[in-house]
Amino acid sequence: MRCLVHYLAHTQVCAIPRQKAIVMMNMGGPSTVSETHDFLKNLFSDGDLIPLPFQRFLAPLIARRRTPQIEKQYSDIGGGSPILRWSQTQGAGMAALLDELNPESAPHKSYIAFRYANPLTDETARQMKQDGVKRAVAFTQYPQYSCSTTGSSLNDVFRKAHAGSFDGIEWSVIDRWGTHPGFIEAVARNVETALAKFSPSTRSDTVILFSAHSLPMSVVNRGDPYILEVSASVSTVMDRLGHSNPYRLVWQSQVGPSAWMGMQTREALTGLARLGKKQVVLVSIAFTSDHIETLYELDLEYAKEAREHGIEVHRAESLNDSPVFIRALADITSQHLRDYSTGKIGPTSIQMGLRCPGCTNATCAQQKTWFSRRGQVVA
């Protein structure tokens, strides 16, 4: 009987339903400059990220007004966001490693579900249906959890499921991994490579400036866990580096006139120059591949300005195709699949079960209930 099952599992017909889908959720970015408007329109239409009055009316207006400026930024970094390419490289590498690490749950296939750019969740759902997927892991590609990022992607999967796009699929969730040793190792190695560019005689004076996308204070003040989790990542990277250098965590990319989490990265660099600091390593800690924040804001704006203030700046490379990072993605998923199949963990983490104390978004509650039931019961 076992042999028959084994034999059948490796035939074309039976291999498909056994396939484990690892759905890599992220925001995405315009692959070409001409996709910038649609990306921004999707982004400003997301009430989980930016709740606007009359959202359906205002979102297209704001997107249209902002498009020329953001198009220029994507042109200046080479004609589009590299996030799709890096996600494909990371996903394919992870799935190949998973087949080796977890032969009992093979074959594994990675899917990409972007929130604001192609492939959007609906397209991913279509592909998964075509492949006959029955078991899926929603794997956030944001290491640290925020309701505006991972929460928004989970709400999106839930809404699509509610509309019938994911019928018959059993779901579990990897919702955060900001202190996973493999992730920390991958970041730490890239920091070490950047530090090595400074003269050994002054290397230990170099300030390591961790920079993460900021959050509006309204999000921080409703109890969002992101600030805590980014801080934990920074602290763990510094432990791994043996606290070889002084460091700070600062925040970038705020949009609009409301109050955002600070100190801002640009001002921190100016302040360090004022204090006489001559060497800085910049580290993007909350995103796993290059994007306009690193390639435009950090490289073309802030680092350039800091050099004008007399600071030598090197940016730690983004994780992109780092083999250490791809191995970490496989390890995180491998452990999750094993622990889930043996009943050691449930479909969601304990932490994911708790809503922000200030949350008034009904979808968050429905989404958490739905995933806690393995996506089998639509609330």
Q: Taking CB under 6 A as the criterion, which residues in 218-247 touch ligand FES?
A: 224
Structural contact between residues 233 and 239, judged by C-beta atoms closer than 8 angstroms: no
Query: Judged by CB under 6 A, which of 95, 249, 361, 371 binds ligand FES?
Result: 361
Decide which of ligand L6N33NVT, ligand FES, none touches 151; Cβ closer than 5 to 8 Å per partner kind. ligand FES
Structural contact between residues 13 and 19, judged by C-beta atoms closer than 8 angstroms: no
Structural contact between residues 144 and 226, judged by C-beta atoms closer than 8 angstroms: yes
Please tell me the count of residues contacting ligand FES according to CB under 6 A: 8
Decide which of ligand L6N33NVT, ligand FES, none touches 356; Cβ closer than 5 to 8 Å per partner kind. ligand FES
Q: Which two tokens stand for residue 67?
A: 């498009």
Q: Does 287 bind ligand L6N33NVT (CB under 6 A)?
A: yes
Please tell me the count of residues contacting ligand L6N33NVT according to CB under 6 A: 24
User: Which amino acid would we find at residue 95?
Assistant: A
Q: Does 83 bind ligand L6N33NVT (CB under 6 A)?
A: yes
Nearest to ligand L6N33NVT by Cβ — which residue?
29
- In terms of DSSP H, where are the helices of the chain? 2-9, 12-18, 36-44, 55-76, 83-101, 121-130, 150-162, 181-195, 217-220, 226-240, 265-274, 292, 303-308, 323-341, 362-372
Query: What is the Cα–Cα distance from 78 to 83, expressed in whole angstroms?
Result: 13
Query: What is the Cα–Cα distance from 254 to 247, expressed in whole angstroms?
Result: 21
Q: Taking CB under 6 A as the criterion, which residues in 149-208 touch ligand L6N33NVT?
A: 149
Q: Does 264 bind ligand FES (CB under 6 A)?
A: no
Contact segment (CB under 6 A) with ligand FES among 176-184, 233-241, 245-253, 357-365 equals 357-365
**126 in helix, strand or coil?**
helix
Query: Cα angle at 114 between 111 and 120, to 5 degrees?
Result: 85
Taking the CA atoms of residue 161, residue 180, residue 349 and residue 120 in that order, the dihedral angle to the nearest 10 degrees is -10
Query: Judged by CB under 6 A, which of 115, 135, 176, 291 binds ligand L6N33NVT?
Result: 291
Residue among 134 and 355 whose Cβ is closer to ligand FES? 355
Q: Does 215 bind ligand FES (CB under 6 A)?
A: no
Decide which of ligand FES, ligand L6N33NVT, none touches 361; Cβ closer than 5 to 8 Å per partner kind. ligand FES
Q: Does 232 bind ligand L6N33NVT (CB under 6 A)?
A: no
Integer Rg of the chain from CA = 21
Query: Is 331 marked active-site?
Result: yes
Q: Which two tokens stand for residue 174?
A: 């990897």
Q: Taking CB under 6 A as the criterion, which residues in 239-258 touch ligand L6N33NVT?
A: 255
Catalytic residue among 37, 48, 108, 180: 180
We find the least distance from the C-beta atom of residue 211 to ligand L6N33NVT, in angstroms, to be 11
DSSP secondary structure letter of residue 296 = I
Query: What is the Cα–Cα distance from 115 to 45, expressed in whole angstroms?
Result: 11
Which residues belong to the active site?
Answer: 180, 331
The residues binding ligand L6N33NVT (CB under 6 A) are 27, 29, 43, 49-50, 66, 70, 81, 83, 142, 146, 148-149, 213, 215-216, 219, 226, 255, 286-287, 291-293
